Amino acid sequence: MASINTPCRHLGLDILRILSAVAVIIIHVAAPIMTTPVIFEQGDFFWWFSNILDSLSRFSVPMFVILSGYSYSIIVDLPCFRQTSRQKLMKLVKITLFWSLVFIIYRLVKGDFSGVTNFADLFILALVKPLLAGLPYFHLWYLYMALGLFYCATFAVPFLNTLKERKVLPLLLSVMFFCLLFSFQNYYYDNKLLFVFWFLEYIFYFMFGFYITKLNICIKKRLSLTGFVLVVILNSVLIQFMIDIYGADRGQYFYEFVSPFVLLQTIFLFTIFMKVNIQSPMIVVVLSRLSLPVYLVHPFITEAVVPYVQDDHSIVSLFVGIIISVFFSFLVSYFLYKIPGVRRFVF
């Protein structure tokens, strides 16, 4: 998520960071609506619109991982790579612990543990279990997944960099099938892995970003855009049938971040913007650097907006809810950027 401070910014990749941050917000506004039983049973245009927005935005987290892999391809040849990689990891540890504490306090203030009166039980339920589970709050799983990813990258990336180009594609295809199978098994068989292993589902995206400059992918923008749109539409229709058969809890596999159509959608979108290789304007650079704090703070906004959108049950309220969530998430993130003592925990 964090941007790479290089002398020349890549406009296409900076735009992807911004779009990915916005897409996360859209998911957390639209997904609760499309999975609400009453709204789903009605199956009206409001539900379909929420569903399509959800499908459209599923590239969000995979794109962040691809961009992380790409960032390692930039620094891997530096003499101080291991030191730089360790610094990235330690920075992520610091950010993860800080925001875990923030959202644990937030849950206490919200009254999530109001029924727990014993201090020892409260300490275990509010602090120990969330930290060990890697889920102090629903969206912070990404940080805990990234810890494993960045830790392994410190040791694996130099090896990956020595791989001959002719071996890159077979390796990527093998890893892709492994990740898809692993994700499918985790979704349908409820594998409860420790958070230190969560990154295993996402190593294809990371390696794809790392190797993108060696792959020489030549897909015309029009073809990539057509593929992206078709996959979004197909996936949204498929999800309707899956939820109808298996219910909201078991019928959303194809909206998993590591699933066949989301993988295709992400690659199509990445190939479009990867070709926009010109210097980023300053406003794009600033917004790109806000992508991580936007991801971190957006639940404060979306949780206030979603009930209003569900009650109003209109396309207008959905749009308004998304716009408000995006605007205030970026605004709060910008204010955090301006606070020196807090800045180190979000950038």
Q: What are the tens digits of pLDDT across the range 298-314? A: 999 999 999 998 888 88
pLDDT of residue 149: 96
**Which residues form the domain of 322?**
11-343
Q: What is the CA radius of gyration of the chain?
A: 20
pLDDT of residue 46: 85
Q: At what angle do helices 81-110 and 291-312 cross, to 10 degrees?
A: 30
Contact 29, 322 (CB under 8 A): yes
For 190, other C-beta atoms within 10 Å of its C-beta total: 7
Alpha carbon distances (Å) from 312 to 35, 71, 256, 294: 16, 42, 28, 26
| Distance from C-alpha of 60 to C-alpha of 256, rounded to nearest angstrom | 11
pLDDT of residue 37: 65
3-state secondary structure of 56: helix
| Distance from C-alpha of 140 to C-alpha of 151, rounded to nearest angstrom | 17
Contact 149, 203 (CB under 8 A): yes
Q: What are the tens digits of pLDDT across the range 210-228? A: 999 888 777 788 899 999 9
Query: For the chain, how many structural domains are there in total?
Result: 1
| Distance from C-alpha of 46 to C-alpha of 202, rounded to nearest angstrom | 32
Does residue 142 carry a pLDDT above 60? yes
pLDDT of residue 7: 43
Does residue 6 carry a pLDDT above 60? no
| Distance from C-alpha of 88 to C-alpha of 306, rounded to nearest angstrom | 34
pLDDT of residue 312: 85
Q: What are the tens digits of pLDDT across the range 80-129? A: 888 999 999 999 999 999 999 999 999 999 988 888 888 898 999 999 99
Is position 86 within any domain? yes
How much of the chain, in percent, has pLDDT values that exceed 70?
95
Amino acid, single-letter form, for residue 231: V
| Distance from C-alpha of 159 to C-alpha of 101, rounded to nearest angstrom | 36
Is position 45 within any domain? yes
Pure H helices in the chain: 11-34, 37-42, 45-56, 60-75, 81-110, 119-123, 129-133, 141-161, 165-189, 203-215, 221-250, 260-274, 282-289, 291-312, 315-338, 340-343
Does residue 4 carry a pLDDT above 60? no
Token pair for 25 = 């917000």
What DSSP state is assigned to residue 193?
-
Least confident of 47-56, 72-81, 240-249, 279-288: 240-249
Q: What are the tens digits of pLDDT across the range 242-293? A: 888 888 778 899 999 999 999 999 999 999 998 888 888 999 999 999 999 9
pLDDT of residue 16: 97
pLDDT of residue 22: 98
Is position 228 within any domain? yes
Mean pLDDT over each residue of the chain, to the nearest integer:
90
Q: Is the pTM higher than 0.95?
A: no
pLDDT of residue 248: 75
Is position 289 within any domain? yes
Token pair for 299 = 């639940």
